Structure 1
Amino acid sequence: MLPQTNPFPGDGPAVDPSQTHTLQWQTLNPLTYQLGESPFWHPLEQLLYWVDIAAKTIMRANVYMGTVETWEMPSEPGCLAPAALGGLVIALRNGIFRAREWRGGLDPVTTLPYDTGSVRANDGKCDPRGRFWVGTLDETKTAHAAALYSVDARSGRVPQVQRHVGDALTGNGLAWSPDERTAYWTDTASHAIRAWDCDLQTNTLTAPRTFHQFAPKPAGWTWSPASASNAVPYGGRPDGAAVDVQGHYWVALYEGQRLCRFAPDGRLVAQYPTPAVCPTMPCFGGEDLKTLYLTSARRGRSADELAAFPDSGCVFSTRVDVPGLAVNMYQD
């Protein structure tokens, strides 16, 4: 059961309590992961995929049978996506790789222009035209060396790498609107979700703007029973995201113990307590795309927090009323 506390301080103006709703979360299985990320539902295989970045491992689960398979990687897998021709495209620390089959060979696709000694791949997915987009993470936490890239290998062409946004610390929250005209991305450390006008024909992002700004993290804040009761208010920072068929943007709030749903105009329309203080990324799955899956993290969390939230690091699921957008396939 979730602790009966209010973990949702206002992001600037006070949050309307009527916007807070309860979802019936279940754990996918009792297994926990250090840094679960990048979940997607494979509609052809009817399997759920995700990664544990810290453990350098990819997982896939048959949610109907309750089985999970693992695949160790040679370096941290930041994100991955299904390929239209079968298999996966995977962003590792040292490049983009193509796996034609599960636990098969990793064929190099291309590299991204960053220093692998201090930067690694993080959140990413494919756009509706089949390009693979990857945000990166600056491990120095000071150099602002993270960026957002796209990799275009369609129709067997030599992969073309394009840098779209830079000067970031932790790239997250990548998603597109149902009409493909808006792209979303966030530098988690900035506590801001950004949006751009998107032209997938020319692969350009224009008219950058702030979609939603969250309140910053208070100096010295750490989770504790006192912080959970709002003695030290903090609502978390935006991590991974997904979009539903109505164009609402669902984002996990890391250290905020909540999942937020925003209307296309940037209004917060709902927020939901989560069974972990550090949810990382949602995705929609199941045959009707009305099952919401949510990865989470437990790496680096305190003993007190893990005692209060023992399922931290699990993959959670719940049913929702509005289906999500299907995962985009990599085209090569």
Structure 2
Amino acid sequence: MLKAKKQTWRELGDAVALTGESPFWDPVRRAVLSVDIRGERILETNWDDGNARIFPVEGLPAFIAPLTDGTLAVATRHGIIGLSRTTGRCIEMLVPAWFADHLRLNDGTIDPAGRLLIGTMAMNGALEGQLFAIERGQPPVALIDGIGIVNGLAISPDGLWLYISDSHPDHNCVWRYRYDCAGPTVCDRTLFADFKRLGIAGAPDGAAMDVDGGYWIAALGGSALIGFDRDGRIAHHIALPVSQPSKLAFAGPDMTEVAVTSFSRGDQSAPAGTLIAVSMPSVGAPLQTLAW
């Protein structure tokens, strides 16, 4: 494994999350969107001055993405809602008929067609997680099942590969699939990175892609961001001031920094649950727009 390198970082404002997750760069408003799962709220943090707007949202919000009209699509325990950043009102967008009481939505990403790819996880620890492709007004399409905790979702810049991590202790690895956006369908699963075999501390949580097809993932409990090349080799190991980094999103006008969310813990040099920005050795791939 490469030796960890200290990296320049800064706090993005002083808003603190109990369980910070799902950062999403909004270039129109020059802001980082994120969720506080246990705090049940949405944060919109200004990139330039760190001021944060906070919107209460019930139901353990876990993923967020802006629509073309500025509305925020938020995945919660009960389904997907639309949140107005003007009024703070929430409207029901999708309540899946397949949802069970012991399940909740977790990590998500957006494919080149603007579909929402989002996973479920069982709150009782069972290996019942699934990955769904969802278009508004259409039945969800089940792509993958038998996952412990769906995380690490990202699609390569050419749209050909889907990455998904399973941060359940029984798995603790990243898989890669061939992705056909026209279907959508997945096939040709390969083991991309086994955290235990590679000796990486922590669990593979949220992820992002760079323009060269590099896959970056937060090591929850490992105080680091891990960068992999296309062949699954560790190319970068960036030490962080937070022990529980949960997800990263390339951000900023030139996409050379990442916004990193984290869980509240006392054993970290940055204030627990603080959103931080970290300078990166690569340029981030632009995020897709949710076409709902």
TM-score, shorter chain, exceeding 0.5: yes
Per the alignment, residue 251 of structure 2 pairs with 285
Secondary structure of the structure 2 residue equivalent to 1:34 = coil
Per the alignment, residue 122 of structure 2 pairs with 138
AA in 2 matched with 1:324: G
Per the alignment, residue 180 of structure 2 pairs with 199
Gaps of 5+ in 2: none
Per the alignment, residue 290 of structure 2 pairs with 330
- Cα distance, 1:125 vs. partner? 2.2
Per the alignment, residue 60 of structure 1 pairs with 44
Return closer, same or farther for 1:160/1:257 CA change in 2, 3 Å cut-off.
same
- Cα distance, 1:86 vs. partner? 2.7
- Structure with bigger gyration radius: 1
Matching of residues 171-320 of structure 1 within 5 Å: 171-189=150-168, 190-215=171-196, 235-298=201-264, 301=265, 306-309=266-269, 311-320=271-280
- Cα distance, 1:116 vs. partner? 4.3
Matching of residues 11-26 of structure 1 within 5 Å: 15-17=1-3, 20-26=4-10
Which is helix-richer, 1 or 2?
1
Does residue 124 of structure 2 align to residue 106 of structure 1? no
Return closer, same or farther for 1:192/1:44 CA change in 2, 3 Å cut-off.
same
Cα contact 1:80–1:125 (8 A) shared by 2 = no
- Cα distance, 1:170 vs. partner? 1.1
Cα contact 1:191–1:215 (8 A) shared by 2 = yes
- Cα distance, 1:140 vs. partner? 0.4
**How far, CA to CA, are the matches of 1:103 and 1:281 in structure 2?**
28
Per the alignment, residue 10 of structure 1 pairs with none
Which is strand-richer, 1 or 2?
2
Per the alignment, residue 151 of structure 1 pairs with 134
Gaps of 5+ in 1: 1-14, 217-232
- Cα distance, 1:96 vs. partner? 1.3
- Cα distance, 1:103 vs. partner? 4.1
**How far, CA to CA, are the matches of 1:146 and 1:102 in structure 2?**
34
**How far, CA to CA, are the matches of 1:173 and 1:27 in structure 2?**
23
Deviation per residue, 1:83-105 (Å, 9 max, x gap): 12331211111111223544443
Return closer, same or farther for 1:16/1:104 CA change in 2, 3 Å cut-off.
closer
**How far, CA to CA, are the matches of 1:44 and 1:194 in structure 2?**
33
The match for 2:104 among 115, 120, 137 is 120
**How far, CA to CA, are the matches of 2:225 and 2:153 in structure 1?**
15
Return closer, same or farther for 1:50/1:292 CA change in 2, 3 Å cut-off.
same
Cα contact 2:2–2:234 (8 A) shared by 1 = no
Deviation per residue, 1:44-101 (Å, 9 max, x gap): 1111100000111100011212210100012111101111233121111111122354
Secondary structure of the structure 2 residue equivalent to 1:77 = coil
Secondary structure of the structure 2 residue equivalent to 1:215 = helix
Secondary structure of the structure 2 residue equivalent to 1:315 = strand
Secondary structure of the structure 2 residue equivalent to 1:60 = strand
